[in-house]
Amino acid sequence: MVPNRGKRSILLLVLFCVNASGAFVGINVGTSISNPPPASDIVAILKEKQIRHVRLFDVDHEMLNALANTGIEVIVGVPNDQLLRVGQSRSEAADWINKNVAAYIPATNITYIAVGNEVLTTIPNAALVLIPALQFLQSALLAANLNSQVKISSPQSIDMIPKFFPPSTATFNSTWNSIMNQYLQFLKNYGSSFMLNAQTYYAYTKGQGIFPLDFALFQALNPNNQVVDPNTNLYYTNMFDSMVDAAYYSMQALNFTGIPVIVTASGWPWFGGSKEPDATVDNALAYNSNLIKHVLNGSGTPSQPTAQINTYIFELFNEDLRPGPISEKNWGIMYPNKTALYTLSFEHPDESDGDSTGLVGVFCVANSSAPAIALKQGLDWACGPGSANCSAIQPGQPCYDSNNIAAVASYAYNDYYHRTQANGGTCNFNNTAMITTTDPSHGLCIFAGRSGSSKGGGISPVCLLESEKKGEQQKEEKMVMLRHSDLKLWVLLRNLCVRVKQTPFASYLGTLLDA
């Protein structure tokens, strides 16, 4: 048993590591299914796939009970058909919170309430009750003493932004400026996030060929066919980033900054009708797998490179009762009978060995004489479609250097090369890269291929913990209580702050565990 003081110290450590672990990818679970699987089976699937975040479109009490004691973070939805009820009566809003949120906490880890879904674009006649609904539900959370654990927001469609490219000139539909100002002020006041349904498939098909399919699927573009915002000169390697940035710029146009974006729905249908040729299994697999890699590598977006774009894949199961074209029923990654249509990995890049080559003492680095614009293109590709883990070159991280694009590109190039060389990956990047045996690692910035290290990424400063800052005595006071009973905690720490194993602190913990 760990005394309370030791537990508090360990909790602090966990919180530090969680903050360093980067963005997450969750999944939507819809209910428009004629024969849905039992809630217990759904939760078993989430555990098997290591999905730690789930969005429920409405309140499924069986599902909320099944999620109890799993630690999975849950977004519960207020369906559009209940919006009028909670938006016109404080008592009804309080009743909704008590029955659907308070009754399940703390066993079920509810962290967000999504009020309605695309209200302004799908049921505009309900727009006037949206803000009161948010406010009444927030008051009910406060009364239940849950306001610090549960945040409230309302998912908006990308259609709220009539023209999302170029992102720098994007604005919300001016029809809704008054409501959007109130909505954004609500998010600002309560530290909540802007929920965006960024369905790239719809944006691509509506574009009717304006954007190439590769751009929509996170796949490499021809060097002569790059997508650039002419006002910022920022290169966009995929449509998803441009839509997310459009949301940030649209908020900025209304004088709101500092509100994070959560993508509450993004996916690709695997099957469609004769007039939906791009709804295929191959495209769905390409989009969703590349989206997961892109979000988890921590590279943010061109205008928000340090932002964590937490994203929920749409969706877990096909929903055969959804109205509309054939594709509407076929967004799931599996059938409701639990047969997988294709396989996705939700594993964070840092939880698997990033160096699949076995090459030691060989590095792929940028040519410092290459034009800066070419290096920027190579860097964007490596961190985007190339799926390099670029978290260590974000501002404040050990490999970041705002004055040396070649050094930053070198880290991304090398990470990509060591991840992919065994499967045909090369060190070229349009002739801006070269192989060297000179180790470019410096300080805490550790490149893949360095002797004694199978991974790159440097050592995240927050994972160095207080042992580097406050001395061995305080470290010992904080951690001496760790024993075999906390093996699960140690595994969690190892996974969340994998690079801590390169520090003396890890050896110290290992000694304690082996004692």
Tokens linked to 469: 């800052």
Asked whether residue 400 falls in the same domain as residue 444, the answer is: yes
Q: Is the pLDDT of residue 328 over 60?
A: yes
On whether residue 406 sits in a domain, the answer given is yes
Strands 363-366, 433-436: parallel, antiparallel or unpaired by DSSP?
Answer: antiparallel
Q: Is the pLDDT of residue 29 over 90?
A: yes
Asked whether residue 498 falls in the same domain as residue 421, the answer is: no
On whether residue 419 sits in a domain, the answer given is yes
On whether residue 161 sits in a domain, the answer given is no
pLDDT at 427: 87
For the chain, helix (H) and strand (E) counts, in that order, are 17, 13
Asked whether residue 422 falls in the same domain as residue 471, the answer is: no
pLDDT at 477: 38
pLDDT at 438: 87
Asked whether residue 381 falls in the same domain as residue 412, the answer is: yes
Give the predicted TM-score (pTM) of the model. Answer: 0.71
Interatomic CA distance for residues 123 and 119, integer angstroms? 5
Mean pLDDT on 487-495: 41
Q: Is the pLDDT of residue 462 over 70?
A: no
For residue 453, name the pLDDT band (cuts at 50, 70, 90). low
**Number of structural domains in the chain:** 2
On whether residue 172 sits in a domain, the answer given is no
Contact 97, 51 (CB under 8 A): no
On whether residue 500 sits in a domain, the answer given is yes
Mean pLDDT on 400-415: 93
Buried b (16+ CB within 10 A) or exposed e, 174-198: eebeebbeebbebbeebebbbbbbb
Last residue of a domain, one of 442, 458, 474: 458
pLDDT at 451: 65
For residue 35, name the pLDDT band (cuts at 50, 70, 90). very high
pLDDT at 36: 95
Mean pLDDT on 266-280: 96
pLDDT at 52: 96
pLDDT at 358: 55
Q: Is the pLDDT of residue 505 over 60?
A: no
pLDDT at 292: 93
Q: Which residue has the higher pLDDT, 247 or 377?
A: 247
Buried b (16+ CB within 10 A) or exposed e, 18-46: eebbbbbbbbbbbeebeebbebeebbebb
Closest CA to 184 of 252, 97, 86, 121: 252
Q: Quick one: CA dihedral 129, 131, 134, 140, positive or negative?
A: negative
Lowest-confidence range among 22-31, 60-69, 165-174, 428-437?
Answer: 428-437
All residues at 6 or more sequence positions from 449 whose CB lies less than 8 Å from its CB, including other chains: 355, 357, 359, 360, 361, 362, 363, 414, 418, 439, 456
Q: Is the pLDDT of residue 11 over 50?
A: no
pLDDT at 130: 98
pLDDT at 392: 87
On whether residue 510 sits in a domain, the answer given is yes
Q: Which range in 86-100, 279-293, 438-452 is most confidently predicted, on average pLDDT?
A: 86-100
On whether residue 425 sits in a domain, the answer given is yes
Asked whether residue 471 falls in the same domain as residue 503, the answer is: yes
Interatomic CA distance for residues 506 and 498, integer angstroms? 10
pLDDT in tens, 330-374: 999 999 999 999 889 887 655 544 454 556 778 899 999 999 999
For residue 69, name the pLDDT band (cuts at 50, 70, 90). very high
Contact 445, 426 (CB under 8 A): no
On whether residue 474 sits in a domain, the answer given is yes
Asked whether residue 429 falls in the same domain as residue 473, the answer is: no
Q: Is the pLDDT of residue 1 over 90?
A: no
pLDDT at 208: 86
Asked whether residue 431 falls in the same domain as residue 510, the answer is: no
Interatomic CA distance for residues 112 and 74, integer angstroms? 7
Interatomic CA distance for residues 82 and 291, integer angstroms? 32
Asked whether residue 355 falls in the same domain as residue 443, the answer is: yes
Contact 196, 114 (CB under 8 A): no
Asked whether residue 478 falls in the same domain as residue 448, the answer is: no
Contact 51, 344 (CB under 8 A): no
The dihedral formed by the CA atoms of 372, 373, 376 and 377, expressed in degrees to the nearest 10:
-140
Asked whether residue 356 falls in the same domain as residue 447, the answer is: yes
pLDDT at 154: 99
Residue 414 half-sphere exposure toward CB, CA atoms < 13 A: 36
Q: Is the pLDDT of residue 74 over 60?
A: yes
pLDDT in tens, 168-213: 999 999 999 999 999 999 999 999 999 999 999 999 999 888 999 9
- Rounded to whole angstroms, the maximal C-alpha distance in the chain is 70
Alpha helices in 400-466 (DSSP H): 405-420
Mean pLDDT on 205-227: 87
The dihedral formed by the CA atoms of 171, 130, 193 and 493, expressed in degrees to the nearest 10:
-150
Please tell me the total number of residues recorded for the chain in this structure. Answer: 515
Last residue of a domain, one of 414, 440, 458: 458
pLDDT at 317: 98
Asked whether residue 449 falls in the same domain as residue 508, the answer is: no
Tokens linked to 261: 């974006």
Query: Which structural domain, as residue segments, surrounds residue 409?
Result: 351-458
Last residue of a domain, one of 417, 443, 458: 458
Lowest-confidence range among 62-71, 249-258, 481-490?
Answer: 481-490
Lowest-confidence range among 36-45, 383-392, 464-473?
Answer: 464-473
Tokens linked to 210: 């304006």
Closest CA to 53 of 418, 293, 311, 271: 311
Q: Is the pLDDT of residue 494 over 50?
A: no
Residue-averaged pLDDT of the chain: 84
Interatomic CA distance for residues 251 and 180, integer angstroms? 9
Asked whether residue 449 falls in the same domain as residue 470, the answer is: no
